[in-house]
Amino acid sequence: MENYNALIVRLAEIGHLNNATAVLGWDQQCYMPHGGAGERAESFAVLGKISHEMFIGNETRRLLEGAEKEVSSQSPESDEALTLRAVRRDFDKSVKLPTALVAEIGKATALAHETWVKARAESDWKQFAPTLSHLLDLSRQVANYYGYEDQMYDALLDQYEPGMKTAEVAQVFNELRPGLVKLVQDIAAAPPIDDTPLRRDFDPAGQKAFGETIIRKMGFDFERGRQDVAVHPFCTSFGRNDVRITTRFDKNWLPCALMGTIHETGHALYEQGFDPKDDDTPLSDATSLGFHESQSRLWENIVGRSRGFWNIYYTDLQKQFPGVLDDVSLDSFYKAINKVEPSFIRVEADEVTYPLHIMLRFEMEKAMLAETISVEDVPEAWNEKMREYLGIVPSNDAEGCLQDVHWSGASFGYFPTYALGTILSAQLFEKAQKHNLAIAGDLEKGEFGSLLSWLRENVHQPGRRYLPAELVQRVCGEAPQSRSYLHYLNSKFRDVYGI
């Protein structure tokens, strides 16, 4: 196992370089003084280059090939074989892209970001369209270098959700959409919920204290992680023992920090939960962005917006903000935090309408990539889909097709993972409750240990051993499906809205 062991050491070194890059990224968003931006950008480029060169170098290839021979007689289910499968996948993808193309995309997206910021500020799609065309061209090249069997979009999707095919995503989405649109329509016909109690005056220090109490209770380990303030909430990790989340506080919108903190904690519990014996190996990683999102959504929505959760914790919340919520009943608060309303901005959408925003983007991306729609026609097509899915039409591009940063980063294929994770969260939760009958009762008592243990064992500790579809199959005994999610939404929201 000489080559195998040397390969693991080399990959661990690359991992340390990437962790250093992640620390630099965390620092940039949380603490870096303004003046450091230029130098920091160069540091990212240098560390990225060194890491990439180490990974695609001949030494890695030699060790990987040698290791594959050493491990060839072992079971394909052995840790060594699963490790090499994951490394081979990464390696083959990395070497397929010409360095010049990677560099061109790096430059193009840096410029595109500036263009997008200006276009969005001026709500003017025309400014952004030529840039987007160029990025689509580059992405088509990427897809062609990666290769694909069925659709070009497969090759891009695979970067974020390994092994998943466009047709599979479409199937899951198509199963879900009619039921979702129906539920949205039924809710729209019901009396609206008043969420103004969530817009009262909530002292940020109190918000922070309450959030910390909740995520400690959920199992976030502050000995192996921390929470900071940043403009954009995110979770980052420098190994299983140093996982950090960020939060932003809005004095007059309670869910911003509170539900955001629980969401990021869902991500963090995944990262803190990898198997210690996988430390410093390629297995100590998430299997996909979709699985990552399934963890954040599960904790944020299925747990954190449940009636059982607030039955236990609403009194504590009221105590945290003396006088602020005295006149708001538990039932009113529960409904407020679950208000459903078609809206324009994806990141502000509730859990019913959210997947529709994603489906729209999925349709647009496929069409743009296949050139069945021209970039110039995106605003019109966007608005038409908004009417179809959500029954509303944005009045300008800033709150329409210019709202997201992703396209300026050429991240085509990324959006589906948000909805896949959301859908998967319900499928996993349903299975968890069947596997361990104590979970439902524990959650009613505000205890999260049994749920976390189940997730640890079934989702976190496997790490990157299995492709996402394999892991769903192993855990749930079935392929990814949206019935569980639709069932969850209908049960919950028909009750919330009394329909």
C-beta of residue 299 within 8 angstroms of C-beta of residue 265: yes
Nearest-approach distance from CB 103 to its own copies, in angstroms: 15
Which position among 264, 300, 351, 365 bears the catalytic label?
A: 264
> Of 33, 191, 276, 498, which lies in the binding site for its own copies, with binding defined by CB under 8 A?
33
Nearest-approach distance from CB 47 to its own copies, in angstroms: 6
CA distance 74 to 57: 26
Nearest-approach distance from CB 284 to its own copies, in angstroms: 11
Q: DSSP E strands: which ranges in 16-130?
A: none
C-beta of residue 479 within 8 angstroms of C-beta of residue 469: yes
> Of 280, 363, 377, 447, which lies in the binding site for its own copies, with binding defined by CB under 8 A?
280
CA distance 12 to 211: 34
C-beta of residue 156 within 8 angstroms of C-beta of residue 462: no
Tell me which residues in 168-227 interact with its own copies (CB under 8 A).
221-226
Compute how many residues bind its own copies; rule: CB under 8 A: 38
> Of 38, 191, 276, 477, which lies in the binding site for its own copies, with binding defined by CB under 8 A?
38
Q: Note if 264 is an active site residue.
A: yes
Tell me which residues in 383-412 interact with its own copies (CB under 8 A).
none
Q: Is 226 helix (H, G, I), strand (E, B) or coil?
A: strand
Edge-first strand listing for the sheet containing 225-229:
225-229, 243-247, 235-237
Nearest-approach distance from CB 114 to its own copies, in angstroms: 20
Nearest-approach distance from CB 409 to its own copies, in angstroms: 22
Structure tokens at 266: 């869902």
Tell me: does residue 32 bind its own copies (CB under 8 A): yes
Tell me: does residue 20 bind its own copies (CB under 8 A): yes
Angle at which helix 468-476 crosses helix 289-297, to 10 degrees, equals: 50
DSSP 228-296: EE-SS--EEESSTT-EEEEE---TT-HHHHHHHHHHHHHHHHHHHTS-GGGTTSTTSS-S-HHHHHHHH
Q: Cβ closer to its own copies: 24 or 181? A: 24
Q: Cβ closer to its own copies: 27 or 331? A: 27
Q: Cβ closer to its own copies: 47 or 312? A: 47
Spatial CA neighbour of 146 closest among 138, 136, 134, 155: 155
> Of 163, 179, 239, 409, which lies in the binding site for its own copies, with binding defined by CB under 8 A?
239
Q: Which residues bind its own copies (CB under 8 A)?
A: 12-13, 16-17, 19-21, 23-24, 27, 31-36, 38-40, 42-43, 46-47, 49-50, 221-226, 228, 238-239, 241-242, 279-280
Q: Where in the sequence numbering do the catalytic residues fall? A: 264
